[in-house]
């Protein structure tokens, strides 16, 4: 039985489209305008000419360094989280001892801790560890605050593995390490992908830890670099928006390649 | 033969890491809330001075109210829109699939990028609404502008949740209702909404915690201004600590933030049956 078209809903969806797309169109078009045209004409006027000069300005202004720093922070954070969370999740699911179970409860309580609330003690610890103004200073707390969600997603997925599979491996004489490599890793692959997506988005977009824990240009990441451009370019809004556009491009490229993973990663563990 | 289980050592690196960089700071922040510290020297215990000061601090109280207002407003704006767009996008038509991939785009921008974009868009002299209201400059509407920007950023994510959940509603329910002559609105109210109740809870929790901890959006958009019109609690803490160099006092504010966050989580868990939801989800 076919239903008739739902006009009100369709109109609402179109209005929503304008609200979502409008600012993005503004972003790209202004970034292609000359500065004099931006200052002289209405935002709605058709531009006389488009220019890529703003992008050149940004790319010659330290953008590459920020991008590189962002990649380093993201890769290192994801590396640490996966490397320590996967064996830990395996232990939580298979080791019923009180140490492991209590530790897991502690980590889950971390789901409710707002990272902002710890920024002052983290600043104290990082300066005392002589790590202030290094990329390591960003990586360590970012990874720690990614652990609760990572552990939640991984243990949920490993709990679904039938006990017999673990036992069959043991009967074959496999030690825990071999079970980890030949059973847990392959079975947890979708969950690990979710953790990778979630952690890398967080690390890539991180703002507060870089803001408080770094200072010099050489350790600046992309999000802070953008903010910095705002001061640097003053009223050069087209250049600022070119920088914003450039900062989106890497994620957009990843999105085009791994659309499925990104979407399932974003919603996994939350949606029903 | 009993099967060989992994030793506790497998969990030690993760536990140690979490203990050092997340759990220890939680304990330290309580300690620091009883000290005077300018961020450079050594923290000096000063008894309950920060706490008695906090009790008399009308600015801190105002920032708590702003935070609560922001949470309520964000929820009220985001939930209905995300729900409707998500349910609409769950349809199988090709046009809906294309549109929903566009709806998703704001999720690709970092918070900093979004705040800078909206700041340029709403700029009163050269932005897109010249001659319109002073979105960020009028103390009466600046906080609502923040809600608008947060909604633009996060409704897409919640739309995805609702879209996925709406697709999982068994079609047989709708078929039966159609045979009974139910209207489209009736089907939405009596089938879709009840079927989505757990998703509404999940989405609301994420939304509320998210707006409690909103920070970079406001820092970049308004830096708490005009005046203190958008100075919400996390920002008040940051400015007190890192611009005013009163780290001890800022730590006391941070503790309030933790208490609010924890109370929120506990309330939502109790009141929504979040735990029973997670057990229902198992195996799904």
Hey, are the CB atoms on A271 and B164 less than 8 Å from each other? yes
Please state the rounded mean pLDDT for residues A195-209: 91
Burial class of residue A18 (count of CB atoms within 10 Å of its CB; 0-12, 13-18, 19+): exposed
A84, B13 in Cβ contact below 8 A? yes
Task: Residue A6: list chain B partners with CB under 8 A.
Answer: 88, 184
Hey, are the CB atoms on B265 and A111 less than 8 Å from each other? yes
**Can you say whether the dihedral through the CA atoms of B16, B17, B22, B26 is positive or negative?**
positive
B237 vs A116, which has greater pLDDT? B237
Neighbouring C-alpha atoms within 13 Å toward the C-beta of A93:
25
Q: Please give the mean pLDDT across all residues of chain A.
A: 89
A14: pLDDT confidence band, cut at 50, 70 and 90?
A: very high
Hey, are the CB atoms on B32 and A121 less than 8 Å from each other? yes
A147: pLDDT confidence band, cut at 50, 70 and 90?
A: very high
pLDDT exceeds cutoff 60 at A95: yes
CA atoms of B14 and A81, how far apart (whole Å): 8
Helix (H, G, I), strand (E, B) or coil at B44: strand
Q: Where exactly are the structural domains of chain A? A: 62-269
Please state the rounded mean pLDDT for residues A56-74: 92
CA atoms of A225 and A73, how far apart (whole Å): 14
Please state the rounded mean pLDDT for residues B42-56: 94
* Nearest residue, CB atoms, A147 vs list B17, B199, B241: B17
The DSSP output letter for B35 is E
A49: pLDDT confidence band, cut at 50, 70 and 90?
A: confident
pLDDT exceeds cutoff 50 at A55: yes
Please state the rounded mean pLDDT for residues B133-146: 94
How many CB atoms lie under 10 A from the CB of residue B179? 9
Long-range contacts of B24-30 (CB under 8 A, 24+ apart): B24/A121, B24/A125, B25/A118, B25/A121, B25/A122, B25/A125, B26/A113, B26/A117, B26/A118, B26/A121, B26/B258, B28/A121, B28/A124, B28/A125, B29/A117, B29/A118, B29/A120, B29/A121, B29/B251, B29/B254, B29/B255, B29/B258, B30/B251, B30/B255
Task: Residue A42: list chain B partners with CB under 8 A.
Answer: 130
Give CATH for domain A62-269: 1.10.3720.10
- For residue range A208-258, list pLDDT tens digits in order: 999 999 999 899 999 999 988 887 777 789 999 999 999 999 888 888 887
- For residue range B4-26, list pLDDT tens digits in order: 789 999 999 999 999 999 999 99
From A37-46, A47-56, A142-151, A218-227, the region with the lowest mean pLDDT:
A37-46
pLDDT of residue A105: 92
Tokens at A8, concatenated: 């009100």
- For chain B, percent of residues with pLDDT exceeding 70: 94
H-helix segments, chain B: 12-18, 24-32, 49-56, 58-89, 94-103, 111-121, 142-167, 171-179, 184-187, 193-195, 197-212, 216-221, 233-238, 247-272, 274-281
Tokens at B250, concatenated: 């800022």
pLDDT of residue B1: 40
Q: Does A165 touch chain B (CB under 8 A)?
A: no
* Nearest residue, CB atoms, A116 vs list B213, B247, B282: B213
Q: Tell me, yes or no, if the pTM score tops 0.80.
A: yes
Please state the rounded mean pLDDT for residues A90-101: 94
pLDDT exceeds cutoff 80 at B198: yes
Burial B75-108 (b: 16+ CB within 10 A, else e): bebbbebbbbbbbbbbbeeeebeebbeebbbbbb
- For residue range A184-197, list pLDDT tens digits in order: 999 999 899 889 98
pLDDT of residue A144: 96
CA atoms of A16 and B88, how far apart (whole Å): 12
pLDDT of residue B274: 53
Of the candidates A198, A218, A115, the one whose C-alpha atom is nearest the C-alpha of residue A154 is: A198
- For residue range A118-134, list pLDDT tens digits in order: 999 999 999 999 999 99
Task: Residue B17: list chain A partners with CB under 8 A.
Answer: 80, 84, 143-144, 147
CA atoms of B246 and A3, how far apart (whole Å): 64
Please state the rounded mean pLDDT for residues B232-258: 96
Task: Residue A227: list chain B partners with CB under 8 A.
Answer: 112, 116, 220
Q: Domains for chain B: give ranges and CATH numbers.
A: 70-272 (1.10.3720.10)
pLDDT of residue B255: 96
Of the candidates B107, B101, B83, the one whose C-alpha atom is nearest the C-alpha of residue B163 is: B83
Q: What is the ipTM of this complex?
A: 0.89
CA dihedral B79, A155, A86, A71 (to 10 degrees): 0
The DSSP output letter for B232 is -
How far away is chain B from the Cα of A81, in angstroms, using its nearest Cα? 8
Burial B127-157 (b: 16+ CB within 10 A, else e): bbeeeeeebbbeeebbbebbbbbbbbbbbbb
């Amino acid at each position: 039985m076919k239903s008739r078209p739902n006009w009100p809903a369709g109109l609402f969806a179109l209005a929503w489209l304008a609200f979502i797309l409008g600012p993005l169109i503004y972003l790209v078009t202004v970034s292609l305008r000359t500065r004099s045209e931006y200052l002289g004409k209405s935002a709605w006027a058709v531009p006389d000419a488009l220019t890529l000069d703003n992008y050149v300005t940004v790319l010659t202004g330290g953008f590459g360094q920020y991008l590189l720093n962002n990649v380093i922070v993201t890769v290192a954070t994801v590396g640490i989280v996966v490397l320590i969370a996967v064996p830990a999740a395996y232990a939580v699911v298979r080791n019923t001892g009180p140490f492991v179970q209590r530790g897991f409860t502690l980590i889950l309580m971390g789901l409710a801790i707002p990272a902002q609330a710890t920024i002052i003690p983290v600043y104290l610890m990082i300066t005392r560890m002589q790590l202030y103004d290094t990329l390591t200073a960003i990586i360590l707390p970012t990874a720690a605050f990614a652990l609760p969600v990572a552990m939640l997603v991984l243990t949920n997925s490993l709990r679904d593995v039938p006990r017999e599979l673990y036992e069959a491996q043991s009967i074959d004489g496999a030690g825990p390490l071999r079970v980890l490599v030949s059973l847990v890793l392959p079975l947890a692959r979708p969950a690990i992908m979710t953790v990778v997506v979630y952690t890398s988005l967080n690390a890539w977009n991180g703002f507060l830890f870089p803001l408080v824990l770094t200072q010099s240009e050489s350790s600046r990441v992309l999000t802070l670099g953008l903010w910095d451009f705002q001061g640097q370019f003053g009223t050069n809004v087209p250049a600022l928006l070119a920088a914003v556009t450039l900062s989106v491009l890497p994620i957009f490229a990843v999105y085009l390649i791994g659309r499925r993973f990104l979407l399932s990663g974003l919603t996994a563990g939350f949606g029903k | 033969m009993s099967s060989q289980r992994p030793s506790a050592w497998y969990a030690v690196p993760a536990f140690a890491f979490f203990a050092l960089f997340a759990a220890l700071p939680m304990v330290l922040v309580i300690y620091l809330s009883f000290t005077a510290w300018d961020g450079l020297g050594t923290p000096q215990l000063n008894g309950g001075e920060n706490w008695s000061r906090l009790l008399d601090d009308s600015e801190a109280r105002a920032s708590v109210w702003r935070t609560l207002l922001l949470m309520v407003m964000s929820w009220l704006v985001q939930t209905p829109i995300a729900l409707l767009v998500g349910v609409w996008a769950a349809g199988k038509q090709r046009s809906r699939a294309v549109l929903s991939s566009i709806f998703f785009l704001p999720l690709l921008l970092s918070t900093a990028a979004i705040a800078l974009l909206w700041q340029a868009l709403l700029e009163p002299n050269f932005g897109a609404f010249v001659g319109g209201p002073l979105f960020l400059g009028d103390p009466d509407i600046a906080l609502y502008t923040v809600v608008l920007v947060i909604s633009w950023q996060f409704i897409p994510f919640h739309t995805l949740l609702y879209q996925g959940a709406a697709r999982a509603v068994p079609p047989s329910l709708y078929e039966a209702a159609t045979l009974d002559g139910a209207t489209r609105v009736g089907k939405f109210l009596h089938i879709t909404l009840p079927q989505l109740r757990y998703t509404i809870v999940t989405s609301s929790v994420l939304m509320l915690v998210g707006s409690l901890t909103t920070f970079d959006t406001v820092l970049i958009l308004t830096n708490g201004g005009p005046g203190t019109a958008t100075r919400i609690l996390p920002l008040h803490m940051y400015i007190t600590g890192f611009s005013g160099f009163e780290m001890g006092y800022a730590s006391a504010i941070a503790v309030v933030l933790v208490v609010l966050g924890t109370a929120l989580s506990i309330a939502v868990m109790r009141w929504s049956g979040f735990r029973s939801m997670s057990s229902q989800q198992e195996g799904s």
